[in-house]
Amino acid sequence: MPDVFARPIDASTRYCAVYGFPVRHSASPAMHNAGLAALGLNWRYLAFAVPPVQLQEALRGAAAMRFVGVNLTVPHKVLAVEMMDVLDASARLWGAVNTVRFEGLRADGHWEPLGQWSAEAEPEQVRMQGFNTDADALVQALQEELGWQAKGSRVLLLGAGGAGRVAALKLAAEGVAQLFLVNRTMEKAAAVAEEIRARYPGCAVTLGYPEGTVDLLVNATSLGLRAEDPLPLDPTRFPLERAGAVYDMIYRPAETPLLARAARAGCRVANGLGMLLYQGTRALEIWSGRPAPVEVMRRALREHVYGG
């Protein structure tokens, strides 16, 4: 992996960041700084703990300081939608923003990404464009790591919050035949189910645990981040032996209690590292206009999270 700090910070260094609350667990800085070094960009990627009530202020601050872009993680993705000046089709489609690109106004009236301005040029006006790179990243990770195919499959999704809602909509859009939604508050799951029925009538949505087997179980809750967390599902109502594959969006720890039990039950398993990688590589491409060094960023993630 290239030496991330081989090039010293100077007055022309540009910045990007991830905002979350909490954010100290994030592996995004390790991944992105390795990618930036590989591309030879004089940029740095940082992490900031931003409470939801200060999100708009923090975004405006980044725009004022001419940041290249910002990633958003829990709990900011839905909240940020109304704060953007313009939304990409991906953010409009999924109703959530996880990538913000700052753009400057050229003299000819064209908005250009700040990451593509020369070091000597400084725009007077800056706007924020919101994107969603999570949805495509989830499906790419499921296909590559679990060999899963959406068409005609049965899926049990745990969680109907920001991440769960986007996952549910994307899975329905990909052609899942049956989707079972389980959430701590069933009102939220019911709202997601109604949205799917309206937008993707070919997907049969059911609230609660399924009878029989499913091809895939996805955990989109935060249960598993801490050692003392309970399982995100009730194994008396759905034994894990009835799932062909289990995907946990959590990537640290590498093996959550859910994944450990699923592996013992004979399921194919994968954690959220692949989803993190692919949403990050796409974000870097959105900011820089250049292909991301995927393998460099993958290695940096694995070394940072798992030590090799």
Q: Beta strand 204-207 with 178-182: parallel, antiparallel or unpaired? A: parallel
Supply the pTM of this predicted model.
0.92
- Report the pLDDT value the prediction gives residue 227, as an integer from 0 to 100: 83
Nearest to 99 by CA among 54, 134, 147: 134
What's the token pair of residue 64? Answer: 């004022």
- Report the pLDDT value the prediction gives residue 232, as an integer from 0 to 100: 96
Buried b (16+ CB within 10 A) or exposed e, 95-131: bbbbbbbbbbeeeeeebebbbebeeeeebeebebbbb
| Mean of pLDDT over the chain | 94
Options 77, 151, 170, 188, the catalytic residue = 77
pLDDT band (50, 70, 90) for residue 1: very low
**How far are the Cα atoms of 166, 187, 227 from residue 238, in angstroms, in the given order?**
23, 21, 22
The string of pLDDT tens digits covering residues 266-295 is 999 999 999 999 999 999 999 999 999 999
Class of domain 14-133+276-306: alpha beta
Q: Are 39 and 290 in contact (CB under 8 A)?
A: yes
**How far are the Cα atoms of 82, 90, 140, 199, 232 from residue 170, in angstroms, in the given order?**
21, 11, 11, 11, 21
The string of pLDDT tens digits covering residues 215-262 is 999 999 989 988 899 999 999 999 999 999 999 999 988 899 999 999
- Report the pLDDT value the prediction gives residue 25, as an integer from 0 to 100: 83
What value, to the nearest 5°, has the Cα angle with vertex 85 and ends 70 and 168? 65
CA-derived radius of gyration, the chain: 20
Q: Whose structure tokens read 């991944």?
A: 31
What's the token pair of residue 98? Answer: 């996880």
As a whole number of angstroms, the distance between CA 90 and CA 96 comes to 9
Q: How many CB atoms lie within 10 A of CB 147?
A: 10
pLDDT band (50, 70, 90) for residue 17: very high
Tell me the average pLDDT across 28-40: 96
Kindly tell me the burial class for residue 57, based on how many C-beta atoms sit within 10 Å of its own C-beta (0-12, 13-18, 19 or more): exposed
As a whole number of angstroms, the distance between CA 68 and CA 17 comes to 9
- Report the pLDDT value the prediction gives residue 121, as an integer from 0 to 100: 81
Residue 102 pLDDT more than 90? yes
Residue 7 pLDDT more than 80? no
- Report the pLDDT value the prediction gives residue 5, as an integer from 0 to 100: 59
Give percent of the chain with pLDDT exceeding 90.
88
Residue 2 pLDDT more than 50? no
77 carries an active-site annotation: yes
CATH (residue range 136-273) = 3.40.50.720
Question: Which residues of the chain does CATH 3.40.50.10860 include?
Answer: 14-133+276-306
As a whole number of angstroms, the distance between CA 271 and CA 253 comes to 9
Tell me the average pLDDT across 135-140: 97
Q: How many CB atoms lie within 10 A of CB 173?
A: 18
The string of pLDDT tens digits covering residues 174-228 is 999 999 999 999 999 999 999 999 999 999 999 999 999 999 999 999 899 888 9
Give percent of the chain with pLDDT exceeding 70.
98
Question: Which residues of the chain does CATH 3.40.50.720 include?
Answer: 136-273
Peptide bond before residue 293 is cis, with ω within 30 degrees of 0: no
- Report the pLDDT value the prediction gives residue 308, as an integer from 0 to 100: 59
